[in-house]
Amino acid sequence: MNRILMPRRQLIARAGGIAATLPLLSACDAINEAPAVRKILSMGEEMNRASQRALMDRDALAGEFTRADLSPTFRSNGTRLPPGEDYAAHAARAFADWRIRVGGLVTRPLSLSMADIRAMPQRTQITRHDCVEGWSAIGEWTGPQLRRVLAAAGVRDGARYIVFRCADRIGDALYYESCDMVDALHPQTILAWALNGAVLPIANGAPLRLRIERQLGYKHAKYLTGIDAVASLDGIGAGKGGYWEDRVDYEWYAGI
């Protein structure tokens, strides 16, 4: 039987001593701008990631629920409607021409349509979304496992991270996120095109979003346009692995 993923606070407490660093992990305090504090935050994040990797099976599952547990509404986090005429034109055509590029350190670069995505073997899971802003919601997600897509592309041995490119622009930059290969290959990491049995709404990331169930909501990139296998996060954005990580020092590893 697969073990269910324990909450982050329990794992940190069991690791011993790490819980004392939790007050330092707020990404919003002005004090976080100090280089010394940033170094401490980075050390705490790595300790958190190392403790979770050491204490649980790589395939340990986040909790799953039943349809009776579904939230009445599943609110949107982040962008609700990507700006620009290009996205609007795709939405008007029900994303019939939308393509998801898969590249980087792969042997077979792919350009997948939404029909291609839906033709793959599908996984449906009912899970809880936990937002860094303090709210949560339970939804039913359907889509292919990311590891099937990566297998089709043939990820090379040198790849250590997967980077997710998005259509939503916040300020002067397009949103992006990333994860390591452990979470990329996890059975609950899927590319979701459906929510609660219906096509994904625009506010929730249509036509395709990432579900990476063992991490906080900002890691679940929406409006996916590309997936890249890379050896390093250096040179991508500010090199911290994600839009909010680059700008306000959110944790790159947001395990829960």
**What does the alpha-carbon distance between residue 93 and residue 105 come to, in Å, rounded to a whole number?**
32
Is 200 part of any domain?
Answer: yes
Does 155 lie in the same domain as 132?
A: yes
Is 173 part of any domain?
Answer: yes
Does 18 lie in the same domain as 140?
A: no
Is 253 part of any domain?
Answer: no
Which of 60, 76, 99 is the endpoint of a domain?
60
Is 131 part of any domain?
Answer: yes
**Region label for 141, one of left (φ > 0), alpha (ψ between -120 and 50) or beta (otherwise):** beta
pLDDT of residue 50: 57
Distance, CA of 197 to chain centre: 21
pLDDT of residue 58: 78
Residue-by-residue pLDDT tens, the chain, 256 positions: 344 444 443 433 333 333 333 343 334 344 445 555 455 555 555 555 555 555 557 789 999 999 999 999 999 989 999 999 999 999 999 999 999 999 999 999 999 999 999 999 999 999 999 999 999 999 999 999 999 999 999 999 999 999 999 999 999 899 999 999 999 999 999 999 999 999 999 999 999 999 999 999 999 999 999 999 999 999 999 999 999 999 999 999 999 8
Within 13 A of 191's CA, how many CA atoms are on the CB side?
A: 30
Does 98 lie in the same domain as 31?
A: no
Does 67 lie in the same domain as 39?
A: no
Does 74 lie in the same domain as 135?
A: yes
pLDDT of residue 42: 53
SS3 state at 78: coil
Does 140 lie in the same domain as 96?
A: yes
Does 25 lie in the same domain as 80?
A: no
pLDDT of residue 34: 55
**What does the alpha-carbon distance between residue 214 and residue 7 come to, in Å, rounded to a whole number?**
9
DSSP 8-class letter at 111: E
Is 256 part of any domain?
Answer: no
Does 9 lie in the same domain as 102?
A: no
User: Please, are residues 8 and 229 in contact by the beta-carbon 8 Å criterion?
Assistant: no
Which of 60, 83, 111 is the endpoint of a domain?
60
Task: Count the domains in the chain.
Answer: 2
Is 255 part of any domain?
Answer: no
Residues whose CB falls within 8 Å of the CB of residue 58, separated by 6 or more in sequence, listed in order: 182, 186
Helix (H) or strand (E) holding 112, with range, is strand 110-113
pLDDT of residue 26: 39
**What does the alpha-carbon distance between residue 243 and residue 250 come to, in Å, rounded to a whole number?**
9
CATH of the domain at 200: 3.90.420.10
**What does the alpha-carbon distance between residue 247 and residue 46 come to, in Å, rounded to a whole number?**
19
**What does the alpha-carbon distance between residue 190 and residue 62 come to, in Å, rounded to a whole number?**
13
The pTM is what?
Answer: 0.82
Does 229 lie in the same domain as 142?
A: yes
Per the structure, the complete domain to which residue 2 belongs is given by 1-60
Is 158 part of any domain?
Answer: yes
Is 73 part of any domain?
Answer: yes
Does 199 lie in the same domain as 163?
A: yes
Does 128 lie in the same domain as 13?
A: no
Does 122 lie in the same domain as 31?
A: no
Cis peptide before 207 (omega within 30 of 0): yes
Which of 28, 60, 92 is the endpoint of a domain?
60
Helix (H) or strand (E) holding 227, with range, is strand 224-230
